[in-house]
Structure 1
Amino acid sequence: MTSASVTPAAAGDAPANTLDLGIAGMTCASCVGRVERALRKVPGVQDATVNLATERAHIVFDAASAAGMDALARRAVRNAGYEPRSVAEQEAGEEQAQSPWAGFAPVAAGLVLSAPLVVPMMLGVIPGSLADLFGRHWMLPAWLQFVLATPVQFILGARFYKAGWHAAKALTGNMDLLVAIGTSAGYGLSLWLWATAHPGHMPHLYFEASAVVITLVLLGKWLEARAKRQTTAAIRALHALRPDVAHLLGPDGEVDVPIAEVMAGDRLVVRPGERIPVDGTVVQGHTQVDESMLTGEPLPVARSADGPEGGALTGGSINGDGRIVMQVTAVGAETVLARIIRLVEDAQSAKAPIQRLVDQVSAVFVPVVLVIALVTLLGWLWAGAGVEAALIHAVAVLVIACPCALGLATPAAIMAGTGVAARHGILIKDAEALETAHRVQTVAFDKTGTLTVGRPRLTAFHVEPGADEAALLQAVAAVQSGSEHPLARAVVAAAQERGLALPAPDGVRAVPGRGTEGAVDGRSYLVGSLRWMQELGVDLTALADRAAALQAKGATVSAVAERTAQGLAARALLAFGDEPKPGAREALAQLRAQGVRCVMISGDNRGAAEAMARRLGLDPDAGEVMAEVLPGDKAAAVNALKAQGHDERRRAAPRREGPLGGQRPSAAAERGGHVVAMVGDGVNDAPALAAADVGMAMGNGTDVAMHAAGITLMRGDPQLVAAALDISRRTVAKIRQNLFWAFVYNVAGIPLAALGYLSPVVAGAAMALSSVSVMTNALLLKRWRGR
């Protein structure tokens, strides 16, 4: 059924609902604008965007109008002259049309009926004996031409009349109106010439031009639809990952049940070689899982109940050679696979900023073409060419000017680009992020978990002289035991490795970005950063030399203080070490080779951050390290990078005379901005990801990662950052190529047709070729192989 889902509104806005609606019958960019205008007039609709390539409308409306919105939207679409469909109906139709020859019957009928009309015309221009053999001026009788052309004109071409009539009633224009007017003029001219011909005289008729134009347009539309099915292959491949049946483990053993009946908390059996049906965790057994279709990672990963990832399983991945029992944690629309499918669908249905300009051009394109055709007709009549020639030249203008390729240029490239990116583990949330990413000049990386492994270990525990090291570590680990912070987990792991039992702490309180406070056995401890200790006035003089030495080695240093009757007293230092992620150094080198500046943002002290930066190949002296940045300040750091780059741009830009003789930056520098991408884990980096021009979340498809960033990298490989920028560049290049060719066909073709150098048949072929070439060029993106 039609999908309508509640989505969060921006701050200060009323809650908004969304509705996705399939639309049949659209043929060009003018159709898109017409449907959007009709939907935006519906009471309660806040915005409506229509995508020609996916043939869907995405409607945003206020919550108060939820009742009846589906019916109102459908009525608006139908009144505009198009056929509304639910998304489920549309997807069912796409599944039925998987045959490469689906929908070819009307085209075949047109070819069969048009061939006898066009063959004599072709023979008439062939020099030599073949033409002489068949008769250079041989032509079918007028009545037979009429019999062959009429079904093409009014049965196969009925769709153009229907849609064109709706456009005319709405005082707008579209491709169908141009085709209907043009072919009707040629058909009507042929009838008039036949009816007014002298007895025994066979005039040249134009039935073949009208029939061939309609057939070529239908052929172009069929080729276009076939190419569209290829661009949506990524979505269909993701849908195919979901099995139909699951093996439910109940009181009576294993029972096969439809996947729709599985609920959270159920226990399922997954046999070797089967797909994981839904999200869950391993509770029995161990295996290797192939997650390549979700993450792009070719190597299988180990999964077991006591594994490092907690035995997490993602629906759609393939079980290896082990039989496992899993407990379901998410089903239906809440699974990672379902969210991935929604993200790709949303990206493919969204409009890139450049498409809005195309829509504005297309809104005035058809009326302008009608005026040009009228001028062409009157011009040739004024030149004395006669009604017949003038009408044919005007028909050629109408036919070649159809803006089909303009409407497909951007969405076709976006669909292909986002689809191939998804297969390589790069989920692009919206078209704007895809279009912006190719202009990125600086990439800011969060350190922990992005450039480093993110699982630090306790490398040193230095206590004050005379203190019981084991007892103090036991108390510190107890205070940290409830925290999910990587450093806290490292302390707990170190205590467990020593076999220390952790007592239950009291009054534990987390201070964001600073540390944790709690009591153990009646003694109150604070564990956190050196900055926090300094803010609290803890005297670290006795430990300062040791802290400096640890930081010089690149360690992240924290301190332990105890709250006593005399105040806070330092008790110990903790040093943590992390390792660079495999491939992180190479990823940064790839970005620098592309001319992109790389910056690391870290909450560590400057010594530790710079030591890790040098291991990654970054230059702290060049400003490529921002250290001691609290989580809440990362967004401000990103904004500083944007402003810093903008200031450098203004200083380096050519200068020109100001109005009072002074120098000021050129207009290009004033318009330009510095484009910054932020790469983080998508959880504590959410504000920074939102502040950046392009946010990239490194993660496994968590809700926070997917909603905070425009792009989600499904596996934690920093090299995917360069790949994401690369697919953005290639997609935008395809968009520009498509728009160039679309405009070339129209801008070059219209004058040629108006001047009489193109016949309606050639114009129809050129118009059909323009749409097919745009789709074919976009499909070349499917050859992209990532990095």
Structure 2
Amino acid sequence: MDLTPATVRVITAGGAIREMPPEAVPVGSRFIVRPGERVPLDGEVSAGTSEVNQAPITGESIPVEKKKGDKVLAGTINKMGTFTMSAQSIGENTVLSQIIKLVESAQSSKAPIQRMADKISSVFVPVVVICAILSFIFWRFNGYDTYFALKTLISVLIIACPCSLGLAAPTAVIVGTGMGAEKGILFKTAESIEKLADIDTIVLDKTGTLTYGKPEVVKIFSIIDEEIFLRYLASLERASSHPLAEAIIKKYGKDDFYEVTRFETIPGKGVVGFINDEKILAGSLSFIKENGFEITEDDPEEGLSYIYLGVQKGNEKKYLGYVGLFDNLKDDAIDFIRKIKNLGIGIIMLTGDNEKIAEKIAKKLNIENYRAKVLPDEKQKIIENLKLGGKKVAMIGDGINDAPALASADVGIAIGSGTDIAIETGDIVIVKSNLMTIYKGILLSKKIISKIKQNFFWAFVYNTLGIPIASGILYPFLGILLNPMFAGLAMAFSSVSVVTNSLLLRRNEI
């Protein structure tokens, strides 16, 4: 079944409707999506409202309301109401195409356990050939004719064909990655499945992973007019992808921004930009202080995140104030931590926030091991030290500051709502920003590896029993000699049994 429609109803400059293939639609074009239709391209709703079934992409069972300004993905289904969209991504650039590409890549890659099977087969085949030749020699030189001896040789070669060994891993991987994609779990490689099943430690970023990443401004301290202060801060943060930036822009609530040039992000510290001839800095207290600003403010409330603002013109530096923000925990965060602990996996929370915020969040989640004020390169060092200590580490994150740690971990798990660099760096992508989906991914990986081991077991048992029977070991006692035709049937049955056993994965609920 096609996941996108063959044509798109594009609205021309003159207001007419013209049907075009999806790949021919220019970015920025407006098109119409009617009730019951699949969305053809990634884009943004420009007019109308509806409810969209996002299950094909995110695995969400409940349709999501979409209105003007909301993003809608190709492959999702419009349940009701006609709406107009503006095309943002087409062809291979759509989220759906990227998901398909990831799944195909994972299904064609080899897990380490599969490479082990390849090595075994490279030894197994010559051994089987030798066994077949020895069988021929034994019977031929013990009074049996060439036809009899040749039957044993052929039967051994046929029954010992290592097809089931070759199918043991890839069939389970193909079924498992398909199940994962349906649940919004995208394994980039088969190796990531095996590594995820074997982890004993999970390191988590806080903002956007354990929390919604959509904090609200709950406190403002400014030594200048509050509206001007917010305009400075919002103008600078508008170019940032940090979760706190959106909250500040929302608090400002206007479209009247200053033009910011030479914008730069200092990972784990803050952002810098220029408004006319003024250098604007926004970030942590330590970042503002290390840039030579003298801080004078009331005592900040504990347990909030703070962004401080400073302006430099020439050699004159002026501290302007701060905003305090709070980010709520995700609804499934507590349940996720509890279930991960029940699996015997250790948990470490890392955050760039201050000690008070980290302590408050860790206490709510019952996390004993956490670190505050951690910079991106420090996250990476923590991961590397854990690995040097013999730990098998998975890192879960969503931002630019998590990318080095995601790359260093045995398994990097990127939240799909995060930045492109985090998603690109991660070994596994969680399409929906849902922690329980990660838990399900761990369970699925364990089931896939368990199924691969089952397949190997039955393949080895089959060959262990089949080769002696094919070589005629039962003939002196029971008069039974395996016909090459039945050897071929048995060989085919072994392959079918492995494929069937892999398909039984779909009966497992995760």
The question of 1:581 aligning with 2:330 is answered yes
Query: Which residue of structure 1 aligns with residue 445 of structure 2?
Result: 728
The 2-side partners of 1:572 and 1:750 are apart by 80
Change (3 A) 1:595 1:371: same
What displacement does 1:701 show?
8.8
Residues 515, 682 of structure 1: alpha-carbon distance in 2 compared, 3 angstrom cutoff: closer
State how far apart, in whole Å, the 1-side matches of 2:400 and 2:65 are: 25
Aligned: 1:625 with 2:364: no
User: Aligned partners of 2:188, 2:93: CA distance in 1, in Å?
Assistant: 17
Distance 2:395 2:299 in 1: 34
Q: Aligned runs of 1:586-601 on 2, under 5 Å?
A: 586-601=335-350
How far 1:473 moved relative to its partner?
A: 3.6
Supply the AA of the counterpart residue of 1:770: S
Matched residue, 1:535:
290
Report the more deviating stretch, 525-534 or 291-300.
525-534
CA distance in 2: counterparts of 1:772 and 1:393, whole angstroms: 24
Q: Which amino acid aligns with 1:281?
A: E
**Structure 2: 5+ residue stretches without partners:** 475-480
- Could you tell me which amino acid in structure 2 is paired with residue 458 of structure 1? V
**Which amino acid is 2:448 matched to?**
T
TM-score normalized by the length of structure 1: 0.60
Could you tell me how far apart the structure 2 residues matched to 1:453 and 1:366 are? 55
Shift of 1:682: 5.5
What residue number does 2:9 align with?
247
Mean CA deviation greater in 604-613 or 250-259:
250-259
Secondary structure of the structure 2 residue equivalent to 1:449: coil
CA positional deviation for 1:485: 2.7
Partner SS, residue 299 of structure 1:
coil
Out of 356, 369, 373, the position equivalent to 1:607 is: 356
Does structure 1 retain, via aligned residues, the 8 Å contact 2:398–2:423? no
Q: Residues 373, 527 of structure 1: CA spacing in aligned structure 2 closer, same or farther, 3 A cutoff?
A: closer
Match of 2:97 in 1: 338
Q: Give per-residue Cα distances to partners, 1:440-477, cap 9 Å, x unaligned.
A: 1111111111111101111111345xx54444344433
How far 1:381 moved relative to its partner? 2.7
Mapped partners of 1:293, 1:257: distance in 2: 23
Tell me the matched-pair count. 501
Cα-to-partner distance string for 1:61-108 (whole Å, 9 max, x where unaligned): xxxxxxxxxxxxxxxxxxxxxxxxxxxxxxxxxxxxxxxxxxxxxxxx
The one-letter amino acid of 2:507's match is R
**Cα drift, residue 521 of structure 1:** 8.9
482 and 337 in structure 1: CA distance in 2 versus 1, 3 angstrom threshold: closer
From 284, 299, 302, the counterpart of 1:546: 299
C-alpha separation between the residues in 2 aligned to 1:566 and 1:709?
A: 43
**Cα pair 1:517 1:525 within 8 Å, conserved:** yes
Q: Tell me what 1:360 maps to.
A: 119
Question: CA contact under 8 A between 2:30 and 2:84: conserved in structure 1?
Answer: yes
For 1:480 and 1:366, how far apart are their aligned partners in 2? 63
1:261 correspondence with 2:24: yes
User: What is the aligned partner in structure 2 of residue 691 from structure 1?
Assistant: 408
Counterpart CA distance in 2 for 1:566 and 1:358 is: 68
Change (3 A) 1:712 1:682: farther
> What SS class does the counterpart of residue 685 from structure 1 fall into?
helix
Kindly indicate whether the alpha-carbon contact (under 8 Å) linking 2:232 and 2:258 is maintained by their aligned counterparts in 1.
Answer: no
Q: Does 1:300 align with 2:53?
A: no
Give the distance between the partners of 2:18 and 2:227, measured in 1 at CA.
52
Contact 1:340 1:701 in 2 (8 A): no
Does 2:480 match 1:763?
no
1 or 2, which has the higher helix percentage?
A: 1
Pairing 1:434–2:193 present = yes
Cα distance in 1, alignment partners of residues 239 and 352 from structure 2: 21
> Residues 617-641 of structure 1, C-alpha deviation per residue, up to 9 Å, x if partnerless?
212xxxx212111234332232133
1:723/1:504 Cα in 2 relative to 1: closer, same or farther (>3 Å)?
A: same
- 1-side partners of 2:270 and 2:65: how far apart? 33
Q: Does 1:490 align with 2:253?
A: no
Letter in 2 for 1:729: K
Identify if the C-alpha distance between structure 1 residues 367 and 411 changes in structure 2 by more than 3 Å, giving closer, same or farther: same
Secondary structure of the residue aligned to 2:396 is strand
TM-score by length of 2: 0.91
Moved more, 697-706 or 709-718: 697-706
CA distance in 2, matches of 1:264, 1:270: 16
Shift of 1:524: 5.8
Cα shift at 1:262: 2.6
Alignment of 1:230-245 (within 5 A): 240-245=2-7
* Pairwise CA RMSD: 2.5
Structure 1 residue ranges without an equivalent (≥5): 1-236, 647-672
Partner SS state of residue 299, structure 2: helix
Match of 2:215 in 1: 456
Q: Deviations over 1:306-341 (max 9, x none)?
A: 3xxxx2121110012111111212222221111111
- Paired letter, 2:246: R
Deviation at 1:357, TM superposition (A): 2.0
How far is 1:557 from its partner?
2.1
Superposition deviation, residue 727 in structure 1: 1.0
Percent sequence identity over matched residues? 38
Other-structure match for 1:742: 459
Cα distance between partner residues in 2 of 1:637 and 1:280:
39
What's 2:394 paired with?
A: 677
1:529-571 Cα deviation digits (max 9, x unpaired): 011133234444x54x713xx22xx111232335489864544
Residue 324 of structure 2 aligns to a residue whose secondary structure is strand
**1:377 is aligned to 2:136:** yes
Aligned CA distance change for structure 1 residues 521 and 735 (closer, same or farther; 3 Å): closer
**Is the 1:698–1:716 Cα contact (8 Å) retained in structure 2?**
yes
Is the 1:336–1:702 Cα contact (8 Å) retained in structure 2?
A: no
Contact 2:32 2:85 in 1 (8 A): yes
Alpha-carbon contact 1:427-1:711 (below 8 Å) kept = yes
Task: Name the structure 1 match of 2:478.
Answer: none
C-alpha distance in 2 between matches for 1:243 and 1:565: 58
Separation in 2 of the partners of 1:246 and 1:261?
9
Give the aligned residue type for 1:759.
Answer: L
- Report the residue type matching 1:341 in the other structure: I
CA drift of 1:678 comes to 0.8
Alignment-derived partner of residue 392 in structure 1: 151
Match of 2:424 in 1: 707
Letter of the 1:242 partner, please give it: T
Q: 1:753 to 1:477 in 2, by over 3 A?
A: closer
Task: Identify if the C-alpha distance between structure 1 residues 471 and 452 changes in structure 2 by more than 3 Å, giving closer, same or farther.
Answer: same
**What is the rounded CA distance, in whole Å, between the counterparts of 1:579 and 1:750 in structure 2?**
63
Higher relative contact order (CA 8 A, sep 6+): 2
- Match for 1:312: what amino acid? K
Distance 1:717 1:687 in 2: 22
> Is residue 446 of structure 1 aligned with residue 169 of structure 2?
no
For residues 552-601 of structure 1, what are the alpha-carbon distances to aligned partners after superposition, in whole Å with 9 as ceiling and x for unaligned? Answer: xx111232335489864544232110001120111111111101111111
Match of 1:324 in 2: 83
Partner deviation per Cα, 1:230-286 (whole Å, 9 max, x = no partner) = xxxxxxx5xx21211221222362233333433323221110111001111111111
**Letter in structure 2 aligned against 1:430:** T
Q: Structure 1 residues 611 and 508 mapped into 2: Cα distance closer, same or farther (>3 Å)? A: farther
1:315 and 2:69 aligned: no
What is the alpha-carbon distance in structure 2 between the residues aligned to residue 242 and residue 676 of structure 1? 38
Task: Confirm or deny: 8 A CA contact 1:336 1:701 kept in the other structure.
Answer: no
